[in-house]
Amino acid sequence: MLILNSDDLLQEIKEQKGIDLSAYSTDFLIQKIEKRMVSLQIQSAAAYREKLRTEPIEADTLLSEIGIQVTLFFRNPLVFEIIKERTLPAILDAKRTDGSREIRIWSAGCSTGEEAYSVAILLRQLLKDELSEWRILIFATDIDRKILAEAEKGLFSRAKLVETKVGIVDEYFTPVGEAFRIKPGIRRMVDFSFDDLASTERSAPSASIFGAFDLVFCRNVMIYFNEACRKSVQNKIIRSLNKGGYLILGESEWLADISKSEFTEVDDRNRIFRKK
């Protein structure tokens, strides 16, 4: 089966959900739509659009298929080790020098929240008894509202913790049957909200309009966008970052030529960059 033109389906999603998927890679979208149609035994794009029209929940299911679901706590442990030993301390030192006690972090494309919770744990470890003296603002956003609802629950399977040190699991999670729930102190550090990263209507999560960011995670998100959208998203992130702020990309992602001049390489191998 081959969908020669997915425009009508994307238009239906846009009309129902207000989400414009045209910035995503066409091949990627077709693959996801075809997979969903096969699972429903639907043979044509017209029939699938009719299902979208008559069963609005199907649009949510398709968006979940399009979303990035492979997430773990402390995914790529070396990256998080660098964040703990170099990136976050550098941010904290700069804040202390400036007399500030506020840190702003954005996890873009947060999925079920593991990345945002991981950096919250690192900050708690670094600040210890000093934590109460700081205002920590961690904004985690995603295009999938169902995934965000799961993230807010803070309940995770053991499989999500395979790259997490045992001591961290013991200190920051509570066993619930065969699952683990993030402890309330960490849960309260993260604000989850809907955001379409590819949208040009705003440059940062709506909940974070009162300042720029010291650290932005945008890992394994832009690989699903076409080239024009990648450039647009990177420009959005540039605008959202404080001078000296850090950007962390996925291991197979790169800076567009228009963005390279805006950053210095902190650790190119691990895709960590600092805004000039």
Shared-domain flag, residues 36 and 128: no
Shared-domain flag, residues 122 and 184: yes
Tens digits of residue pLDDT in 123-142:
999 999 999 999 999 999 99
Please report the pLDDT score of residue 68 as a whole number. 47
Phi-psi map region of 80: left, alpha, beta (phi>0 left; psi -120 to 50 alpha):
alpha
Q: With respect to residue 71, please indicate whether it lies within any of the assigned structural domains.
A: no
Shared-domain flag, residues 120 and 244: yes
Least confident of 11-15, 22-26, 49-53, 143-147: 22-26
Shared-domain flag, residues 96 and 137: yes
Q: Which of 15, 46, 66 is at the close of a domain?
A: 66
Q: Which of 66, 87, 115 is at the close of a domain?
A: 66
| CA dihedral (43, 49, 52, 54) positive or negative | negative
Shared-domain flag, residues 45 and 149: no
DSSP the chain: ---S--HHHHHHHHHHH----TTB-HHHHHHHHHHHHHHHT---HHHHHHHHHH-THHHHHHHHHHS-----TTSSHHHHHHIIIIIHHHHHHHHHHHT--EEEEEEET-TTSHHHHHHHHHHHHHHGGGGGGSEEEEEEEES-HHHHHHHHHTEEEGGGGTTS-HHHHHHHEEEETTEEEE-HHHHTTEEEEE--TT-SS-SS-GGGTT--EEEEEE-SSGGGB-HHHHHHHHHHHHHHEEEEEEEEE-TT----HHHHTTEEEEETTTTEEEE-
- Tokens in use for 222? 């832009």
What's the full length of the chain, in residues?
Answer: 276
- Tokens in use for 122? 């690192």
Give the domain extent around 39. Answer: 7-66
Least confident of 49-58, 101-110, 159-168: 49-58
Q: Report the range out of 28-37, 112-121, 244-253 with the highest average pLDDT.
A: 112-121
Tens digits of residue pLDDT in 144-203:
888 999 999 999 999 899 899 999 999 999 999 999 999 999 999 999 999 888 887 776
Q: Which residues are 194's β-sheet partners?
A: 142
Please report the pLDDT score of residue 30 as a whole number. 87
Shared-domain flag, residues 61 and 116: no
Q: How high is the mean pLDDT of the chain?
A: 88
Q: Which of 22, 43, 66 is at the close of a domain?
A: 66
CATH number at residue 97: 3.40.50.150
Task: Report which of 67, 88, 8, 15 is spatially closest to residue 221, judged by C-alpha positions.
Answer: 67
Higher-pLDDT residue of 62, 68: 62
Position 5 confidence tier, pLDDT thresholds 50, 70, 90: low
- The count of domains in the chain is 2
Tens digits of residue pLDDT in 230-263:
888 888 888 899 999 999 998 777 777 667 788 8
